[in-house]
Amino acid sequence: MTKAFRWLWFAATAAVLANGFRIAMYVVPEDVNQGEISRILYYHVPSWSGMGTFFALNLLCSVAYLAFRNSRSALADKADALAVASAEMGVVYCLIGMVTGSLWGRAAWGIWWTWDARLTTTLVLWLIYVAYLLLRRFTGGAQMKTLSAVMAIFGFADVPIVYMSTRWWRTQHPAPVFFGGPNSGLDPSMLPALFWNLAGWLMWGVFVVSLRYSAERRHQRAEQQAAAAALEAA
Partner 1 sequence: MKRPYFLLHLLKDLRLEWRSRDAINAMLFFALLVVVIFSLAFDPTRSVARQISGPVLCVAILFAAVSALNQAWARELRHAVLDAQRMTPAPASSLFLGKVLANFLFVSVIELILAPLFTIFYNLHPLGNAWLLLVAVPLGTWAILINGTFFAALSIRSRNRELLLPLILFPIFMPALLGMVLAISAVLSGETDPMLWIKMLAGYDVIFTTISLLMFEIVLHAED
Q: Which of 168, 174, 191, 226 binds partner 1 (CB under 8 A)?
A: 168
Nearest to 208, CA basis, from 90, 122, 95, 105? 90
* Among 35, 169, 227, 228, contact with partner 1 (rule: CB under 8 A): 169
Establish if 165 lies at the interface with partner 1 (CB under 8 A): yes
Binding characters for partner 1, 86-125, by CB under 8 A (x = yes): --------------------------------------x-
How far CA 226 is from CA of 117, 150, 191, 218, in Å, comes to 48, 27, 52, 12
- Mark residue 187 as left, alpha or beta (left: phi above 0; alpha: psi -120 to 50; beta: remaining): beta
Which residues touch 28 (CB under 8 Å, ≥6 apart)? 39, 189, 190, 192, 193
Count of residues in contact with partner 1, rule CB under 8 A: 32
CA distance 38 to 168: 28
Mask for 171-190, x = binds partner 1 (CB under 8 A): -x------------------
> Which residue, 30 or 158, has its beta carbon nearer to partner 1?
158
Nearer to partner 1 by C-beta: 16 or 117? 117
* Coil, strand or helix at 31: strand
Is 63 a residue that touches partner 1 (CB under 8 A)? no
Beta bridge partners of 31: 35
Q: Helices 191-233 & 41-68, crossing angle to 10 degrees?
A: 30
Tell me how far apart the alpha carbons of residues 143 and 65 are, in angstroms, rounded to a whole number.
Answer: 12
Is 42 or 54 the residue whose CB approaches partner 1 more closely?
54
**According to CB under 8 A, which one of 95, 135, 175, 199 is a site residue for partner 1?**
135
Per CB under 8 A, the segment of 13-21, 49-57, 86-94, 139-147 that binds partner 1 is 139-147
Candidate residues 60, 92, 147, 208; the one interacting with partner 1 per rule CB under 8 A: 147
For position 7 contacting partner 1 by CB under 8 A, the verdict is: no
Helices (H), the chain: 2-22, 41-68, 73-108, 117-138, 141-172, 191-233
Using CB under 8 A, list all residues that contact partner 1.
66, 124, 127-128, 130-132, 134-135, 138-143, 146-147, 150-151, 153-155, 157-158, 161-162, 164-166, 168-169, 172
